[in-house]
Structure 1
Amino acid sequence: MTDTIRYECTGHIARLTLNNPAQHNALGQEQLSAIQSALVAVQGDEQVRVLIITGEGDKTFCAGASLQQLGSGSLSGDAFQETTDLIAELSIPTICAISGNVYGGGAELALSCDFRVGIAGSKLRVPAAAIGLCYPVSGVNRFVERLGVSAAKRMLLAAEEMPAQTLLEIGFLDYLVQPAALKDTVDRLAASIAALAPLSVRAMKKIIQQSAAGTLDRAFAQGLAAECMESQDLQEGFRARQEKREPRFQGR
C-alpha cells in the first residue's frame, strides 16, 4: 500500500487516513487502488465493526480526484466512483472525520460515509461547474440521495462555497466541533457504535440504505430482523439489562 494512504486496525475499529497533505490529499489512481484494497480488508475482517476515514494535515481533508491525472487521462472518473461506491456499500458503519476544507470529490467521499464530523472554520466547495465538468452521474445521485435536491443544487449547480455552520444546517455534517476536539469526538463515537450489537447495526444500516434508495425489499429486511431476534446477542442484551451491566456482544 502506498504511504500516501494509511490503514490500521485496533480492536473493533479500523482507521483509513489520507496521507498526502502536500497535495491536499487529492486522490490519484495509486491512492484509489490503495483505498479499495483497504476496504476489501475491512469487509473481510469480521472483527471490524466501525471504519473511520480521515485526512492528515489541518488544511484540507480531501481535494477529491487528482485534477492533474483527470486532465492527462491517466485517471477516469469511474475509478473514483468505484471507490466511493465501495465505501457506501460497506456493511459496517463508517465515520468521516473531516479534518479541514473539502473540495470537489472530497465532498462525495464524505457523503459516502454514514456519519460526518467536521471542524469549525472549515469550508466546502464542489467547483465542477466552474471548471466545465459535469459531475459523474452516480455522484450527483449520491448528493441528492443524502442531502436532497435543494442542497445538491447549491453545491453542484451554483458551486457555492459553504462554511461549516451551513454544512451542519443542511445536514452534510452530523456533528460540528472545534479542531482540537475532532479526534476525541470521533473516537468516542466509534467506540460507542462498536459496543453495540453488530448484527443489529448491520441489519438496520442495510434497511436504511435500501429505504433511502427507494429499493426496500421487505422480505429481505424481515429476514434480517428475524436473524437479530434469533441471535445470541439479543439474549446477551436481555441478560445485561437484568444484571445491570454493559453487554458483551459477539456478533452471533
Structure 2
Amino acid sequence: MTLIVEEAPDRVVWRLNRPEVRNAIDREMVAALHEACAAVEEEPRVVLLIGEGRTFAAGADIAQLRERDRTDALRGINSKIFDRIHRLPMPTLALVDGPALGGGAELAYACDFRIGTPQARIGNPETGLGILAAAGAAWRLAELVGEPLAKEILLAGRVLTAGEALAVRLLNEVVEPGDLLAAGHRLADRITARAPLATRLTKAVFHAPRSAHPFVDDVAQAVLFETEEKRTRMTAFLDRRKEPRS
C-alpha cells in the first residue's frame, strides 16, 4: 500500500508509504492519490500529507522516470495529480521531514501550508538529470518565494535548508520531528474551528484568476450571507461583546 489514509470527520491524514525508496512517487502512488482526492472532493475535509520514515518524498521514481517518453510527458502524470491536490476544496498541509526534492518538492508546493522539521531540505534538482521541474515548480515556486530565489533553486540546483525555507515563508513553521504531526493537527484545529463553507469559498476566491475579481468575491459573499452559520456566528460574537467585563 503506497498511501495510507487515516480519516476523521473534519480531516484526513495521507501517509506516503514507500520508505524503502524514500517515498519516491511512482505510478501506483499517483493512482492512490487520485483515489484519495476523489474521496475528499466528495466529502471536503482538511488534508495533512506526511511521509513515512524520515523523508517526505525524495522525488519521482527515477527508475520509472528514466523509461518515460514524450507521450508520458504530455500525459502530465505528476502535474495532473499535484494540480488536483492544489484545487482540493479545503486547505492542505504538507508535513516535511527530511528531503522534499523534485516531485516531492512540487507536491509540497501544491499544498496550502508547509510545516517542516530542522532536517527538512527542499529543492528541485531536475536539470541535473536532464529534465525540468514540470509538475508545478517551474511556475508555482516563483509565486511562493519570488523569482530570484525560484531561479536559483530551479536553474542552479540550490536546496533550501529548513531555516532558509522558513525565512522566505516556504515553510510556515519548523518543529522537532516528534512534534511534526501534532503541529499539523494544531494548524488543522485552527482551520476547522472556522466556518467550513467560508473557508472553502475563501480558498476558491483566493485562487480565482485576477480577471474574475471582484465579481467572484461578491458572488461568494452572497452565498455566505444567506447561511445560517453566518447568522449564528455573528450573533454569538455580538452576544460576547454585551457580556460585562470582569
- Identify whether the pair has TM-score above 0.5, normalized to the shorter chain: yes
What percent identity do the matched residue pairs reach?
30
Q: Is the 8 A contact 2:121 2:161 kept in 1?
A: yes
Aligned to 2:28: 30
Alignment of 1:63 onto 2:55: no
Give the CA RMSD over aligned residues: 1.8
What's the CA shift for 1:215? 4.4
Cα distance in 2 for residues equivalent to 1:138 and 1:241: 41
* CA shift for structure 1 position 35: 0.3
Cα offsets for 1:134-183 (capped at 9, x unmatched): 22174411112222211211210110122100011122111111212211
Q: Aligned equivalents of 1:146 and 1:23: distance in 2?
A: 28
Measure how far apart 1:64 and its partner are. Answer: 2.0
1:105 aligned to 2:98? no
CA contact (8 A) 2:11 2:48 kept: yes
Q: Distance in 1 between matches of 2:102 and 2:124?
A: 4
CA contact (8 A) 2:109 2:137 kept: no
Q: How much has 1:218 moved relative to structure 2?
A: 2.2
Q: Contact conserved, 1:98 with 1:119, CA < 8 A, in 2? A: yes
Q: Which amino acid aligns with 2:49?
A: I
Is structure 2 residue 216 aligned with structure 1 residue 220?
yes
TM-score (norm 1): 0.88
Q: Structure 2 CA distance, aligned partners of 1:216 and 1:67?
A: 40
**Distance in 2 between the 1:7 and 1:137 partners?**
23
Matched, 1:240 2:236: yes
Long gaps (5+) in structure 1? 245-252
Q: Distance in 2 between matches of 1:110 and 1:49?
A: 18
For residues 175 and 190 of structure 1, the distance between their equivalents in structure 2, rounded to whole angstroms, comes to 13
Q: Which amino acid aligns with 1:53?
A: L
Check 1:86–1:231 CA distance in 2 against 1; reply closer, same or farther (3 A cut): same
Ranges of 4+ aligned residues in structure 1 off by more than 4 Å: none
How far did 1:237 drift?
A: 0.5
Q: 1:154 & 1:176 partners in 2: Cα distance?
A: 22
Q: Which residues of 2 match residues 8-27 of structure 1 at below 5 A?
A: 8-27=6-25
Provide structure 2 residue ranges, at least 5 long, that are not aligned to the other structure. 241-246
State the TM-score, normalizing by the size of structure 2: 0.90
Query: Number of aligned pairs?
Result: 237
Task: Work out whether residues 81 and 139 of structure 1, in 8 Å CA contact, stay in contact via their aligned partners in 2.
Answer: no
